[in-house]
Amino acid sequence: MTRRFDAIILGAGQAGTPLAGRLSEAGMTVALVERRLLGGTCVNTGCKPTKTWVASAYAAHMARRAADFGVTINGEIGIDFAKVRARADQIAADSRASLRRWIDTMANCTLFFGHARFESPQRVRVGDDLLEAERIFLNVGGRALVPDMPGVADVPFLTNSTILKLDAVPRHLVVVGGSYIGLEFGQMFRRFGAEVTIVEKGPKLIGREDPEISDAVRDILEREGIVVRTEAECIRFERAGEEVRIGVDCQEGSPDVLGSHVLLAVGRQPNTDDLGLAAAGVETDERGYVKVDDRLSTSVPGVWALGDCNGRGAFTHTAYNDFEIVADNLLDGADRKVTDRIPAYALYIDPPLGRVGMGEVEAKKAGHAIQVGHRPMTRVGRAVEKDETLGFMKLVTDADTGRILGGAILGTSGDEAIHGVLDLMVKDGTASDLAHAVHIHPTVSELLPTIAGERKPA
């Protein structure tokens, strides 16, 4: 049966559901199609469960450090892993239930559960239903990339989704991939009591960052007993009884590592291979990301792509911003563009890294003469009071204009405090604007005006 709507949205992820709300509020009839769980990656296998686990890992870490603060714990500090998992599962379930309640209040929205596939530019099949609309929005997200590394098919491995189903803490977790997802899982499992090795092909962890950030992050992880193996040029896998041997061919140290579990965290791939995009003529790039213009239109008029599947962002806040761009342009006659967005993100190890705009290396590459304000967390009062003094804060500005180009706070509350820099960048602020702000004492943020006033050529 063919059913006609004003709009079809494929994927109830971070952009799809709010878009369904806005379009339905504007009086459009909307079909929202989800093949698995409402909320997509963030709610079910990404941000929410991982940050809930990170919170449990932090509690364990602080309990072990209790004596440093004059707090006595009599008895052993243990991990009730079933409870750790149940807590995260409950938060994800609550979030899905809340989304369901929200969708049910959308007057003109019909929710379909099933896999959607294009049959033509304006037609999508979901099971027995053929849906038709002049506007189709893709919000199909992505999944863990399983790399074509030697032996990978012969061994059991975990991804960010399956690791959340573990019943017990692994004896030795080997994380393949030294980037954001891998580092978060690595540190939390170390704090849950596992031996952890992080294996990275490149010379540095989180290789996109300034080298001093990569080095400081490595130091933070190594202090907790995590083994980091970089320059693992030829990663390969083989079974070793119940365990897995991971060949790392590093330049020094043992040539392989024996793990009880392997987590593959080497990147993501978009869910566009089984969407029938060819039937609609929607173009993708060589990695499968849907090609979009600045306003997120695809190569086919009337089809937009939002969130991770367009390759223009890889975060919940960027997916949500895609929704805002598309909805405001369509419904309010706005002219918002994805290129207006200032890149910002966090790495949720402890202490976290909050990042915005360009790093030092990137700014120089872009041709800026730069100045840098810098301060170690050992000289941030709030960090000292909390006895959480690892890391540093850093501000990068244009030497000629004083414009703020970017910033990084690797340190306690860095994920929150970085917004002081971000908000000013949104208004094209300068280092003098920041230097003149009076921040609350005692906070991490209060040192931002200080480092803005102490910049030096770099």
Ligand X SMILES: Cc1cc2nc3c(=O)[nH]c(=O)nc-3n(C[C@H](O)[C@H](O)[C@H](O)COP(=O)(O)OP(=O)(O)OC[C@H]3O[C@@H](n4cnc5c(N)ncnc54)[C@H](O)[C@@H]3O)c2cc1C
User: Which residues of the chain form contacts with ligand X (CB under 6 A)?
Assistant: 10-15, 33-36, 40-42, 46-47, 50-51, 115-116, 139-142, 160, 181, 271, 275, 307-308, 314-317, 319, 348
How far apart, in whole angstroms, are the C-alpha atoms of residue 187 and residue 58? 10
Tell me how far, at minimum, the Cβ of 65 lies from ligand X, in Å.
24
| Strand, coil or helix: 368 | coil
Q: Is 441 a catalytic residue?
A: yes
Tell me how far, at minimum, the Cβ of 96 lies from ligand X, in Å.
10
- Tokens standing for residue 450: 């200080």
Q: Is 382 exposed, middle or buried (0-12, 13-18, 19+ CB in 10 A)?
A: buried
Under 8 Å between Cβ of 415 and 346: yes
Cα angle: 156, vertex 159, 162; to 5 degrees: 80
Quick one: three-class SS letters along 399-444? CCCCEEEEEEEECCCHHHHCHHHHHHHHCCCEHHHHHCCCCCCCCC
How far apart, in whole angstroms, are the C-alpha atoms of residue 17 and residue 411? 34
Comparing CB distances to ligand X, the nearer of 317 and 439 is 317
Comparing CB distances to ligand X, the nearer of 142 and 407 is 142
Comparing CB distances to ligand X, the nearer of 265 and 396 is 265
Tell me how far, at minimum, the Cβ of 190 lies from ligand X, in Å.
17
Under 8 Å between Cβ of 124 and 117: yes
Catalytic residue among 172, 374, 419, 441: 441
Tell me how far, at minimum, the Cβ of 326 lies from ligand X, in Å.
12
Comparing CB distances to ligand X, the nearer of 102 and 399 is 102
Nearest to 139 by CA among 340, 337, 336, 325: 325
Under 8 Å between Cβ of 253 and 223: no
Tell me how far, at minimum, the Cβ of 68 lies from ligand X, in Å.
28
Within 13 A of 22's CA, how many CA atoms are on the CB side? Answer: 17
Tell me how far, at minimum, the Cβ of 104 lies from ligand X, in Å.
17
State the CB neighbour count (10 A cutoff) for residue 180. 20
Comparing CB distances to ligand X, the nearer of 137 and 392 is 137
Comparing CB distances to ligand X, the nearer of 11 and 429 is 11
**Residue numbers annotated as active site:** 441
